[in-house]
Amino acid sequence: MPYTDDGNNRLASYQPDLTLNPEDYISYIGKEGVDSLKRLAEPLEGKSWANINSTLDGGGVAEILRGALPLARSLGVDARWCVMEGNDAFFQVTKKYHNLLQGIEQPISLEEIFNTYLDTIELNAQHTHISSDMIVVHDPQPLGLLTKGVLFGNILWRCHIDTSTPSQVVWRFILPYVNQCTGAIFTMPSFVGPGLQIPVYEISPCIDPRAVKNRQYAESEARDVLSVLFKESKVDPDRPILAAISRYDIHKNQSTILKAFQKLQAEKRYDPQPYLIFVGNTVADDPEGSDMLDQLRDEAGDDPNVRIWVNVEDNDRVIGALMRVARGFVHVSTREGFGLVVAEALWQGTPVIGSRVGGIVKQVIDGETGYLVDPLDVDTIASRMARLLDDPEEAEALGARAREHIRKNYLLPDLVRRYLMLLRYYTGVDREPPPFRMNGKAYSETIDMIRARHAGLDDLGITK
């Protein structure tokens, strides 16, 4: 079934780069990797895969789609991206959904849940008509479209949030929509919320090795990229660096990283002294972000070895280069869906001190690719920082394994491979569900099976 646009569809549609060649990935996954993707895609020529989310720019979902869709298209799949519209009030409510679904208590009114959210859904539904072999609806924002009769095909809900302990109010509100989908996709089994009656699949976010940020720099090149910034901020490039990069946000827990660094400095005199460099972005309409930043600046005081950078120029190159030259990367969030920064740092060959939280545990293997710590355990974080600083050889060995771990498991072609397998399953190319299916036969499938048997059809709906 092709993606159809009957002229009534006014969701913004992103046209992916059509010049990509699957061979462009050979240097990352080898010829065999690219050939196996092509074999998977062969029977999918012309089949359609639509994606719906709520933003074209910013955030992990947009970052992933920007890489995944061109690759899928270069393999012959008609991959599309539609972006729904919403006003500030809508996004404030869906940000609350996001927090509450991650188990963070926050007041929300019934007015917000029903009126603000559903009014926007209604407006979008008036302009939407999407028919596709597979439609992936990302996160809660577009979920309400499910009951509007404007999406036609196998609809999968992709939840990028850690919904292992969701607020009951919001979870109960979205559950009936989710259960109308053909299936749902989560980052890991522990994120699957209660009460799902549909097939559930596991797909992790991934990083695109072809993105500017993830270019693997030679050390000298990385130092060149950073030279101006280092000069401006009076950073001596010969001293070791611990880096921490993320939004300034309470859950990113930058304050604990700082405390651990202060402890490290109080306990041991290094020569040369290491730096702790924070890099982060704030968004103008996020007052929490600037409060966190002010607080961190206060706590750091005039420590000559701490730098706090905000919204750096030439962001992507600077981030990749800083991750590359750092002795260690520290990311001890108290909540985390996946933590793309962790994958990015490991990919640059830098070991990560990461918290045992959310998707970080898939990436940081304790003693193999970095160290796992409890997010508020200042003493252990400080001791792991010391270990990376005291033993550069160990840091390098961890970093080499880290890069390999990401190469094998968290590069974009692996994500595309999983979506292709879903598309094969839902278009009847494969009879067996893909191996990353997390549950057995779901309620909806059992009902379908019983109905089909009664109608004298086999499991694929073909008359016997």
Smallest gap from Cβ 343 to ligand UDP, in A, equals 8
For position 375 contacting ligand UDP by CB under 6 A, the verdict is no
Spell out the residues 6+ positions from residue 100 whose beta carbon is closer than 8 angstroms to its own.
Answer: 106, 108, 166, 167, 169, 170
Give the separation between CA 453 and CA 464, rounded to whole angstroms: 10
Residue 281 is a binding residue for ligand UDP (CB under 6 A): yes
Among 328, 339, 354, 370, binds ligand UDP (CB under 6 A): 339
Backbone angles phi, psi at 306, to 5 degrees: -110, 135
279 touches ligand UDP by CB under 6 A: yes
To ligand UDP, the closest distance from the beta carbon of 311 in angstroms equals 7
Among 148, 223, 247, 263, binds ligand UDP (CB under 6 A): 247
Does residue 163 belong to the site contacting ligand UDP (CB under 6 A)?
no
* Alpha-carbon span 129 to 123, nearest angstrom: 13
Euclidean distance between CA atoms 285 and 346, whole angstroms: 31
Task: Output 51 or 253, the one with its CB closest to ligand UDP.
Answer: 253
Question: Of the candidates 8, 27, 87, 315, which one interacts with ligand UDP according to CB under 6 A?
Answer: 315
Q: Minimum CB separation from ligand UDP for residue 393, in Å?
A: 27
- Helix, strand, coil content of the chain in percent (nearest 5): 45, 15, 35
Residue nearest to ligand UDP (CB): 340
Residues in the chain, total: 464
338 binds ligand UDP (CB under 6 A): yes
How far CA 409 is from CA of 37, 132, 358, 415, 461, in Å, comes to: 15, 28, 17, 9, 35
Span from 240-248, 297-305, 384-392, 431-439 in contact with ligand UDP (CB under 6 A):
240-248
How many residues make contact with ligand UDP (CB under 6 A)? 16
Using DSSP's 3-state secondary structure scheme, residue 154 falls into strand
Q: Are strands 12-14 and 78-83 parallel, antiparallel or unpaired?
A: antiparallel
- Among residues 113 and 244, whose Cβ is nearest to ligand UDP? 244
Q: Which long-range contacts (CB under 8 A, 24 or more apart) does 393-396 make?
A: 395/327, 395/328, 395/351, 396/349
Stretch that binds ligand UDP, among 28-36, 73-81, 143-151, 332-340 (CB under 6 A): 332-340
| Alpha-helix residue ranges (DSSP H) falling in 75-167 | 88-101, 110, 117-126
Q: Are 164 and 184 in contact (CB under 8 A)?
A: no
Asked whether position 60 contacts ligand UDP by CB under 6 A, the answer is: yes
Q: Which residue number, 133 or 344, has a Cβ lying nearer to ligand UDP?
A: 344
**Closer residue to ligand UDP (CB): 108 or 319:** 319
* CB nearer to ligand UDP: pick between 241 and 340: 340
Q: What phi and psi, each to the nearest 5 degrees, are found at residue 167?
A: -60, 130
- Residue 353 binds to ligand UDP (criterion: CB under 6 A): no
Q: Are strands 130-138 and 151-158 parallel, antiparallel or unpaired?
A: parallel
Q: Find the angle CA(112)-CA(117)-CA(120) to the nearest 5 degrees.
A: 135
Per-residue x/- marks for ligand UDP, 1-40, CB under 6 A?
Answer: ----------------------------------------
Stretch that binds ligand UDP, among 12-20, 140-148, 339-347, 419-427 (CB under 6 A): 339-347
User: Is 103 one of the binding residues for ligand UDP (CB under 6 A)?
Assistant: no
Neighbouring residues of 196: CB distance < 8 A, sequence distance ≥ 6? 175, 178, 179, 184, 439, 442
The nearest distance, CB 439 to ligand UDP, in angstroms, is 26
Q: Does 406 bind ligand UDP (CB under 6 A)?
A: no
Binding flag, residue 319, ligand UDP (CB under 6 A): yes
Nearer to ligand UDP, 67 or 339 (CB): 339
Sites of contact with ligand UDP (CB under 6 A):
60, 63, 213, 245-247, 279-281, 315, 319, 338-341, 344
